[in-house]
Amino acid sequence: MELGTARILVTGADGFIGSHLAEELVRRGFRVRAFVFYNSFNSWGWLDQAAPEVKDGLEVFAGDIRDPHGVREAMRGCDVVLHLAALIGIPYSYHSPDTYIDTNVKGTLNVVQAARELGVARVVQTSTSEVYGTARFVPITEEHPLQPQSPYSASKIGADQIALSFFHAFGTPVTIARPFNTYGPRQSARAVIPTIITQIAGGLRTIKLGATSPTRDFNFIRDTVRGFIAMAQSDRVVGQVVNLGSNFEISVGDTARLIAEVMGAEIEIVSEEERLRPAGSEVERLWADNRRAADLLGWQPEFGGREGLRRGLQETAAWFSRAENLARYKVGRYER
């Protein structure tokens, strides 16, 4: 579909990926309504830091994705919904799983129910590579079995299936974007790349991590954003799941060493017990097959392979290393 005059609702627009996505849509001239989490500080999350011209191009709606009435009101008059609002921390899901069901599963139900009732032309549901669990085969295609190895993963599987059920049962035009490990400026230090960068930028040289042997398929934020926009525009992916991944695998330990190289630091890596996932919950291997995205969307990562990862890490490290940005993070402290 053409997005030219469409009004686009971005849920989770105050978060890491959502803020980058909302900003890029504004820069491309689209009409954007940013759904941010209502709070007493009147904070728009990362959108508070957006350039004035971006803020001027945003219509901001403060609400709670768990409230069906607010979701419906936010969606009224919109043609496209990019649904990113979710709880994402895996360790937090171990002790507070109810909140993940409420936010991720029921929140997604609220979105697709409102989209059905209001006749929205496109819903892009945000999935995660965590739904695959440890790879049974690589690279991981969209047909790989779903393996919930954490309550977080289970909630995202549930959310995806709710969304797809509305496509099959009611013809709601849903598509599932399944990004592999996105990284870049503004990411929470609960993710591994900011965990490493902030420790080095903060002057630490003994870097505390969890498991270092698992592999990941890292994707720079601009590649992920381009993938979302392509999925919103394409009629060929309705009712389908599409991996957004670089088709490049690297271990956590090697990622830390590459970051240290980029930042000109010599480091020692230590594994802390409190940072380790339960043995059966650790996803040991992720490596995306991205052929469907290439075939149906014409999407290819611009930051693919080791050299692309290096370029993305350079940009990311430069952002985190600025004093005003680093000050937002609790360097070296483990946050669940």
Res 1: pLDDT: 72
Note down the domain range covering 163: 7-183+220-244
pLDDT band at 332 (very low <50, low <70, confident <90, very high): confident
Res 191: pLDDT: 95
Give the residues across from 285 on adjacent strands: 215
- Is residue 118 in a domain? yes
Average pLDDT over every residue of 268-273: 94
Q: How far apart are CA 15 and CA 19, in angstroms?
A: 6
- Is residue 123 in a domain? yes
User: Kind and range of the H or E element at 319?
Assistant: helix 305-321
Residue 249 structure tokens: 């695998």
94-148 per-position pLDDT tens digit: 999 999 999 999 999 999 999 999 999 999 999 999 999 999 999 999 999 999 9
**For the domain that residue 80 is a member of, what is the CATH number?**
3.40.50.720
Under a CB-based contact definition with an 8 Å cutoff, are residues 144 and 286 in contact? no
Under a CB-based contact definition with an 8 Å cutoff, are residues 174 and 300 in contact? no
- Is residue 237 in a domain? yes
pLDDT surpassing 70 at residue 165 = yes
Res 334: pLDDT: 78
- Is residue 277 in a domain? no
pLDDT surpassing 70 at residue 208 = yes
Give the residues across from 10 on adjacent strands: 34, 82
Give the residues across from 268 on adjacent strands: 206
Average pLDDT over every residue of 149-175: 98
- Is residue 325 in a domain? no
- Is residue 225 in a domain? yes
Q: How far apart are CA 122 and CA 80, in angstroms?
A: 5
pTM of whole model > 0.95?
A: yes
Average pLDDT over every residue of 1-22: 93
- Is residue 74 in a domain? yes
pLDDT band at 336 (very low <50, low <70, confident <90, very high): low
Tally the domains of the chain: 1
Which residues neighbour 98 within 8 Å (Cβ) at sequence distance 6 or greater?
none
- Residue given tokens 């969890």 in the structure block: 210
- Is residue 81 in a domain? yes
List the one residue out of 322, 156, 140 whose CA is nearest residue 247. Answer: 140
Res 205: pLDDT: 96
Q: How far apart are CA 225 and CA 234, in angstroms?
A: 14
**Residue type for 192, please?**
V
